[in-house]
Structure 1
Amino acid sequence: MRSLEDRFNKDFQYDWTFLNDVPFDEEFIEATTAMASGNAQYALIPAEDWNRPSWINETLFEEALQLMEEKNILYGGSKSYRNMCRFNSGFFFRQKILDQYDYYFRVEPDVEYFCDFPYDPFKVMRQNNKKYGFVIAMYEYEDTIPSLWEAVEEYLEETKSRDADMENNAFGFISNFDFFGKSFGVLDSNSDYNLCHFWTNFEIGDLSFFRSEKYIKFFEYLDSKGGFYYERWGDAPVHSIAVSLLLKRDEIIHFDELGYKHMPFGTCPSAHYLRLQQRCLCDSNHPDNIDLNVISCLRRWWKDGSGKYFLKHDS
């Protein structure tokens, strides 16, 4: 919070909204209120939005937890992590405390911002009709989402792809396995999903998209499959697939001037003059810088999304 205030919000005084499934203690409220340059507000997530639904088969759920723990899958044995992923996929935007807002900036613990923001990203979003913004794109762990793409394909078939503008969306970003640069993607997928997703520990979005009928239909169809619990579907691939299918690709923006880190990966502006201008405390050549790493999907975004147009080629 201090990092983001120092690098960005001290100049704009946007509100902070804290959500939790248990009440915040007075010490936390006092410290965060003092840290915020804007207003700070706090809300309790309703149990029905956070807890796993009653229709989840508890036997299958416990078996899934045990199996993923045995495979050492990240957060594979965590019940609360699954609640968090489902909440961030389908319920955060329904919280009444957010009704007054048009956009959100997701802020997570243990994130550090390396550079001064050169602009107000909310203003950039509004002026350029952007609906979703990201900084890092990378591959998902397939063991956490083995049946997610199957559910997506069923959804598209059932809805006749009415909500997906396949000519103008970013479907290629999540489905293309072709060469980019001198290499293939680093991971081999067992489905037609190439596993690319936007890392959601930094995301800025238009709440009207997530509140829209087409997104809610998409989420509720996926939710009905139980994959948030029987597997370990993350909100990152769910958000990424949704925006890639349901938005136009030029409604998605890569904030490539921003630098941040969430362990174990980070990103830093590659241009020397930008790092000086924005007082960056990072090294674009550091091994933790993921942008051109083999596990990054950024080059895929440049080629198949709406990024570096000079890398596109005629079809």
Structure 2
Amino acid sequence: MGLKSLSTFTRSLFFLFSLSSALAFTAPVNFTTLAFDDGFSPLFGDGNLQRSQDGRRVRLLLDESTGSGFISQDLYMHGYFSADIKLPSDYTAGVVVAFYTSNGDIFEKNHDELDFEFLGNIRGKDWRIQTNVYGNGSTSRGREERYNLWFDPTNGFHRYSILWTQKHIIFYIDSVPIREVVRTPAMGGDYPSKPMSVYATIWDGSNWATNGGRYKANYKYAPFTAEFSNLVLKGRPSDPIEQISAKSSESGDSFGENTELAHAQRLSMNGVRHRHMTYSYCYDRARYPEPPSECVVIPSEQKRFKDTGRVKFGNGHRRHGKRRTRNPMPESDHKSASI
């Protein structure tokens, strides 16, 4: 084995060791999984929301008539939210699966949001994942990052988690942190600071999701099915009407105070980002001539992304259609089939 091959082999071993070390850590908070009816309600989709007989697994379907989704029964002021998700297989261009928190139905002009969005692709191409952070309606200042996954998300379930505290936001995949947003004073209202609901949806994002809208959803392959299990809602239920201000609502909240990333977790996060991150707003100079205050600019990453924020691709889109309403649904929308 040559020196170059040995170096590559050594780096690969180090990455695998770091990844396995992070997987050895427990979730950032103790949690108990919920049956669907214990924490969630159907949002839209009629019979396209299917529950297992024991109520602990849910399928969301997208066909020509509608997508589908569900929503938490409570809003939360900080928390840890998690689900095991299996994505649709085969041709999935234009399909978007989302697991996220939002309060856009209550605060229409100044909503907060934390996103996992899974973007489908043509046959033979992998799903991509996007994370995003909005605060106080700052949709014009999106904080998107995109990644290629290091596994096939259609072959089995993988755990996707969001930790939101006063201090930081962490996105996890299979207990491995992939992104941390640390709150800074300069962020101001751009840091989510109002109670949010937890959502899961599947919908048609043909106008942007795959190669900027070049490839559309093809309903010859429908129904597109996303499966959810091991649902977790861990946080402080909160009534947004009683929130006098972000400052007063947070003054007595200590959720997640001891959730700092361990050294091995941070190494794993850096490894995942180095190998799999394909876009970061922090390096997109066209959008942000000066990186936002929460960005940690790493010279090696900056060189790789140059001034576009992209490694291989980028669409520069705004996403649409992620139905958020909590308004009462027609009676038929509350019915759900069994798996």
TM-score, structure 2 normalization: 0.27
TM-score normalized by the length of structure 1: 0.29
- Name which structure has the greater RCO, CA cutoff 8 Å, separation 6+: 2
Q: Which structure has the highest strand share of the two? A: 2
Larger helix proportion, structure 1 or 2? 1
